[in-house]
Structure 1
Amino acid sequence: MKSRSRTVLLRSLALHAVIVPLALLWLLPIWMMVVFASMEDSAIFSAEVQLWPGDRFIENFHELQAELDFVRTIVVSVVVAVIYTAASVVLTSMAGWALARYRFHGRGLVVSIILGTMTLPYFVVVIPQFIMVARDFGLSNTWIALIVPPLFNSLGVLFMRQAFTMMPADLFDAARIDGVSEWQIFRHVALPLARPMLAALSIILFLHSWNNYLWPLLISNDRSMMTAPVALGSLFGLLDVSWGGVMVGSVLLTAPMLVVFIFMQRFFMAGITAGAVK
């Protein structure tokens, strides 16, 4: 028994000896981003490497706020990401439920088409999508244009389809025998069982919306509807770039995602690994 415990301990130490340096290597760029956000532009490009934050974070933030009203852009990004995530989770869950539990002609074709859309580069559809939304519908610089066009998410539909497929069909048949409607089965039986998968999908969709740059850049040229990534990208001029402001904005955009993942990583890992064993 002692020999086995010693072997497990040695394996754990060896594993941590490999993982800890890799984790520190991954965290180093994030830490340097925080360090650069608290320095002057001249100090950022200094030959002397500094590993400890300076004292100019507040000044760089005030300059960023004065130039872009960055707090407003973060509010726009939060509103867009929250509404997009909630609406997309509802739609993808309903689509996944229909594809997993209902038998209809052409179901396999629908699944194949959805799977095929995942192989298409986004640049193939973004131009016709922009023409349709901006020219035909006249929805440029609106909340609808920012939120609705990206709502369909092929990965989310297939993810939820797999989640509902793994659930025992006898449970839903018993609910039907008791006279429960299809909507109530979906809402009160299937969704609670899929809570870990819903949490994982919500994180993925929120990250997708929060980091989305190309579509908000194309569809919104009004500064009042500018999202934070687009606003941050506007700092890159031909000659003058406020690198301190860029680093501060990057820190402010990265921090919420780290906080969300830290507090929801248990649900995220449970949802991702839920399909490993059936």
Structure 2
Amino acid sequence: MHDYAILAQGPYRADQVTISYMPGARRITRPDDQVDAGRIWQDALDQARRVGTSLYDGQLFRLMSFEPHPEQLCLRLGDTSYREYVVTRSPEYCRGRAKDELAEPLAVCTAIITREDRVLVERRQRSEVGIGRYHVIGGFLERDKDIGPLGPDPFQAMAREIREEIDLEIAPRDFVVLGLVYDRRTPHPELCLTVSTQLSFAEVVRRVPRESEVLQIESIDAKPTALSSFLAANHGNLTPTGAACLALYAAWREAGN
């Protein structure tokens, strides 16, 4: 069984994704909950300090619900935080819980295709989860950064992550949504996207800032058969949503895109 579940499969253009946002809407909590959230968070901070990874309590968007339609994907968002995510994904907390009780922060990731028809994959050095594993570029939607005139903007968030990690400018409208997936290993939903650049892989590598979280960046053949081989050879060495994004991209290409 995969470490991810596909909740909705595209493709959807950016203008086919509609978002309704309810500020202040959060997860359900139990008045008699015995879990020590403060201790779980402090343990996570201590662990991050020991291994030198980045961990802070960012303000995030929570996926409350979604509705996929043939030409539209509707997302309903509320509020959560990275602290809530760390606490509610811990085995001590999440066992036997309904999704309504989990943080469910919405993330985005993208398969970036270079001029030579290759997909960028990376390994991160300071990431709080998935450190050292293959992933595609991505991150969580942050409430203080990724909200536009019409509300939360996952495409703006994805463009920001790409700019921060590899210093590449992408127009938010250029992304294609491959699907919405769920990470079973570190429970959260994630939008999987794709976008192309006119830069070669070598040109992308030269742009990566020294202060980037990226430890290593590689490229793999974007043809579906090559991607399938990469996924099979690296099973267990990929983040769940990174694997999902590459699998969805391969399926999209096989469909003639």
**TM-score normalised by structure 1 residue count:** 0.20
Normalized per residue, the structure richer in helix is 1
Q: Which has the larger radius of gyration?
A: 1
Q: Which has the higher contact order (CA 8 A, sep 6+)?
A: 1
Normalized per residue, the structure richer in strand is 2
